[in-house]
C-alpha cells in the first residue's frame, strides 16, 4: 500500500513525486494520459521502486493506505474541480485531497467547505521553487484542517527545503490560508522581478552591455541583495543564444506572461481595502508588456518632452533595489495580516517568513531579518515601521529617490520602483492630502467629513450651493 497518491504528472507533479519517493515514502502515481506516468517511472532509476504507476482511478484509490492522502497537481480552476469529482466516488470518510497547484484561495475555501460537509479533508498547499525546488526541496505553505497535517506534515517536512536544518514547510491556517500565502508570495515575486527588470532597463539605457550588467548583479548577489532572483538575473544576463551567439537577453521578446497569481494578489488587496502598489505596478507592467504594437507606435509618436541626460547611478542602484525590495515585502506582509484578520486565520507572519528563507522563488538574505522583525510584532502590521527596517530604509531610500528621480527626468519607465517610493513617502507623513478628497466629497455629495479638532463625523462645509 502506498503512503500517498499523486495525480497530475506535469513538470511540477512529476518532480514532487520523485522528491517524495526519494525521501522513502511510497507513492501511487496517476495521470490522465498514461505516457507521462510511463515516462516518470522509466526515468526514475532506483526511485521507481517507491513509485506505483496506475492509470485507473479506482485502482489508484485502492492502492493507498487509509485514510488516504491524495495530492493533485493540475492547472488551477475547472481542472481541479474535475479531478475532485472523479476522485470523490472512490474516497472514504476521513480521506484528504491536497491541491498542490497555485489556486485562487476563494476556490480553495469553497472546496474545503464542500468537502468537509461530506466528511473529507481538503488541503490547499502552495509549493514554491519551480521544477528544481519541487524535485529537491521546495518551500511548502499548507492550509486546511489542522488535523490533516498530522499525517501530511511528516511527508511535506521531509521533502521541503531546509534552512539551517529546519524544514521550510508549515501548516499556516485553515481553509484557504496556504493558497493565500502562496498567492502573496507570488505577488512579492512579481514586484521583485519587475524592480530588478527596471534596474536592468536603466543599466541598458545607460549603455551597459548584458555581460557587464550580469557581473554587477553577480556582485550584488554577494551583498545585502543576495537572493535567488538576483542570482538567476546574473545568469540570464550572462547567457548567450546558442543559435546566433548574441546575448540571450537581446533575443528574448519583451513580453512577459502571467498565469494569474500576481493579479489575484492585487484583486484580493483591493477587496480588503488595501493597495499593494508595488505589486500592482508589476502586474500592470506585465500587461503593458503584451501591448507590443501600441508600444511600437508609441515609440514613434510619444516624445519624452524635456528629458534630461541620463545620470550614471551605479553606486545607487544596489541600495535603491534593496529599499524597493523591503517595501515590496512589506506590502505583501501587510496584506497577509489584513487577510488573516478578515478570515480569522491567525497567520504567524514570522513563521511564513521563516519558511520562505529557502526553497521558494523569493528566498533572500532579507527573510531571516524579516522573520525576526515579525517575531517582535509589526507595528500597525507594517514591516517598514519595524525599527530594524526603518533604519535600513533610512540608509537606502535616498538612493531609491535619486534613481527614481533620475529615471523620471530622463524618461525611463520605473513603475514598480516609483510605486514603492511613493508608498514610502505616503506612509511617512501623519498628515496626507485626503482632507481635500473629503472636502470634495462633501461638496458634491454631502458625504460629510471628520474634523482634526474634535471627535465625531458627518461634519459639513459651508457650501453655498
Ligand atoms: C513558484 C513560482 C511558480 C510559478 C508561477 C508564476 O513559487 O515556484 O511562483 O508558482 O512560476 O506559475 O507564474 P506566472 O509568472 O506565470 O504567474
**Cell numbers that stand for 64 in this block:** 493507498
Contact 318, 220 (CB under 8 A): yes
Residue 195, CA atoms < 13 Å, CB-side half-sphere:
36
Is 154 in the same domain as 246?
no
Among residues 175, 194, 223, the one where a domain terminates is 175
Is 193 in the same domain as 208?
yes
Is 330 in the same domain as 415?
yes
Phi, psi of 235 (to 5 degrees): -70, -40
Is 300 in the same domain as 204?
yes
Among residues 157, 175, 193, the one where a domain terminates is 175
Is 194 in the same domain as 171?
no
Residue 405, judged by CB atoms within 10 A of its CB (0-12, 13-18, 19+), counts as middle
Q: Please report, for the domain that includes residue 443, its CATH number.
A: 1.20.5.320
Q: Is the peptide bond before 224 cis (omega within 30 degrees of 0)?
A: no
Q: Please give the pLDDT value at position 141.
A: 98
Minimal CA–CA distance to 61: which of 90, 24, 98?
90
Residue 12, judged by CB atoms within 10 A of its CB (0-12, 13-18, 19+), counts as buried
Phi, psi of 32 (to 5 degrees): -55, -45
Across the chain, which has 465 residues, the per-10-residue mean pLDDT values are 97 98 98 95 97 95 97 96 97 97 98 97 98 98 97 98 98 98 98 98 95 98 98 98 97 95 98 97 97 96 87 87 98 98 98 98 98 98 98 98 95 97 98 97 97 97 86
Looking at ligand 1, which residue's alpha carbon is closest to its atom 7? Answer: 128
Q: Please report, for the domain that includes residue 121, its CATH number.
A: 3.40.50.720
Task: State the total domains in the chain.
Answer: 3
Q: Please give the pLDDT value at position 106.
A: 98
Is 140 in the same domain as 204?
no
Q: Which residue has the cell 510605486?
A: 419
Domain that includes residue 387, residue range: 183-427
Is 389 in the same domain as 444?
no
Contact 121, 144 (CB under 8 A): yes
Q: Which of 112, 157, 182, 280 is catalytic?
A: 182
Is 315 in the same domain as 450?
no
pTM: 0.97
Residues 6 or more apart in contact with residue 335 via CB below 8 angstroms: 184, 187, 265, 268, 269, 272, 274, 276
Q: Please report, for the domain that includes residue 257, its CATH number.
A: 1.10.1040.10
Q: Which residue has the cell 504507476?
A: 53
Best of 19, 180, 186 to mutate for ligand 1, by most ligand atoms within 8 A of CB?
186
| Residue 319 known to be catalytic | no
| Residue 182 known to be catalytic | yes
Is 111 in the same domain as 166?
yes
Concatenated DSSP letters of 256-300? ----SHHHHHHHHHHHTT---HHHHHHHHHHHHHT-HHHHHHHHH
Q: Which residues line ligand 1 (CB under 6 A)?
A: 102, 128-130, 186, 189, 257-259, 261-262, 360-361
**Cell numbers that stand for 304 in this block:** 519624452
Element (H, E) at 159: helix 148-159
Q: Which residue has the cell 457650501?
A: 463
Q: What is the 3-state secondary structure (H, E, C) of 313-357?
A: CHHHHHHHHHHHHHHHHHHHHHHHHHHHHHHCCCCCHHHHHHHCC
Is 345 in the same domain as 266?
yes
Is 205 in the same domain as 88?
no
Rounded Cα distance between 265 and 350, Å, is 20
Q: Please give the pLDDT value at position 465.
A: 62
Is 108 in the same domain as 204?
no
Amino acid at each position: 500500500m502506498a503512503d500517498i497518491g499523486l495525480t497530475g504528472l506535469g513538470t511540477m507533479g512529476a518532480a514532487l513525486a520523485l522528491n517524495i519517493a526519494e525521501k522513502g515514502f511510497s507513492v501511487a502515481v496517476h495521470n490522465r494520459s498514461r505516457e507521462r506516468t510511463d515516462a516518470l517511472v522509466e526515468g526514475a532509476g532506483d526511485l521507481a521502486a517507491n513509485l506505483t504507476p496506475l492509470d485507473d482511478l479506482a485502482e489508484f484509490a485502492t492502492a493507498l493506505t487509509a485514510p488516504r492522502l491524495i495530492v493533485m497537481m493540475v492547472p488551477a480552476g475547472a481542472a481541479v474541480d474535475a479531478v475532485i469529482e472523479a476522485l470523490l466516488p472512490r474516497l472514504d470518510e476521513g480521506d484528504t485531497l491536497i491541491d498542490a497547484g497555485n489556486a485562487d484561495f476563494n476556490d480553495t475555501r469553497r472546496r474545503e467547505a464542500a468537502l468537509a460537509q461530506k466528511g473529507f479533508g481538503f488541503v490547499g498547499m502552495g509549493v514554491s521553487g519551480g521544477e528544481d525546488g519541487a524535485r529537491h526541496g521546495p518551500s511548502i505553505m499548507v492550509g486546511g484542517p489542522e488535523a490533516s497535517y498530522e499525517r501530511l506534515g511528516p511527508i511535506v517536512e521531509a521533502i521541503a527545503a531546509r534552512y539551517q536544518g529546519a524544514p521550510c514547510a508549515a501548516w499556516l491556517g485553515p481553509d484557504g490560508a496556504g493558497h493565500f500565502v502562496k498567492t502573496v508570495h507570488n505577488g512579492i515575486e512579481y514586484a521583485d522581478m519587475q524592480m530588478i527588470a527596471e534596474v536592468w532597463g536603466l543599466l541598458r539605457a545607460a549603455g551597459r552591455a548584458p555581460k557587464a550588467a550580469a557581473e554587477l548583479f553577480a556582485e550584488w548577489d554577494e551583498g545585502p541583495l543576495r537572493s535567488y532572483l538576483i542570482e538567476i538575473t546574473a545568469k540570464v544576463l550572462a547567457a548567450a543564444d546558442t543559435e546566433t551567439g548574441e546575448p540571450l537577453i537581446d533575443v528574448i521578446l519583451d513580453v512577459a506572461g502571467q498565469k494569474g497569481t500576481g493579479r489575484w494578489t492585487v484583486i484580493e488587496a483591493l477587496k480588503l481595502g488595501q493597495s499593494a502598489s508595488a505589486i500592482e505596478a508589476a502586474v500592470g507592467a506585465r500587461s503593458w508588456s503584451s501591448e507590443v504594437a501600441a508600444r511600437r507606435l508609441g515609440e514613434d509618436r510619444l516624445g519624452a518632452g524635456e528629458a534630461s541626460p541620463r545620470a550614471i547611478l551605479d553606486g545607487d542602484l544596489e541600495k535603491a533595489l534593496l529599499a524597493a525590495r523591503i517595501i515590496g515585502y512589506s506590502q505583501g506582509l501587510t496584506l497577509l495580516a489584513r487577510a488573516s484578520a478578515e478570515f480569522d486565520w491567525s497567520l504567524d507572519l514570522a513563521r511564513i517568513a521563516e519558511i520562505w528563507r529557502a526553497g521558494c522563488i523569493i528566498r533572500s538574505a532579507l527573510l531571516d531579518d524579516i522573520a525576526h522583525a515579525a517575531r517582535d510584532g509589526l507595528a500597525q502590521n507594517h514591516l517598514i515601521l519595524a525599527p530594524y527596517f526603518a533604519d535600513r530604509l533610512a540608509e537606502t531610500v535616498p538612493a531609491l529617490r535619486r534613481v527614481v528621480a533620475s529615471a523620471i527626468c530622463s524618461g525611463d519607465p520605473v513603475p514598480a520602483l516609483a510605486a514603492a517610493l511613493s508608498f514610502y513617502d505616503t506612509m511617512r507623513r501623519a498628515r496626507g492630502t485626503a482632507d481635500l478628497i473629503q472636502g470634495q466629497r462633501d461638496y458634491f455629495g454631502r458625504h460629510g467629513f471628520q474634523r482634526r479638532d474634535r471627535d465625531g463625523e458627518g461634519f459639513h462645509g459651508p457650501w453655498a450651493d
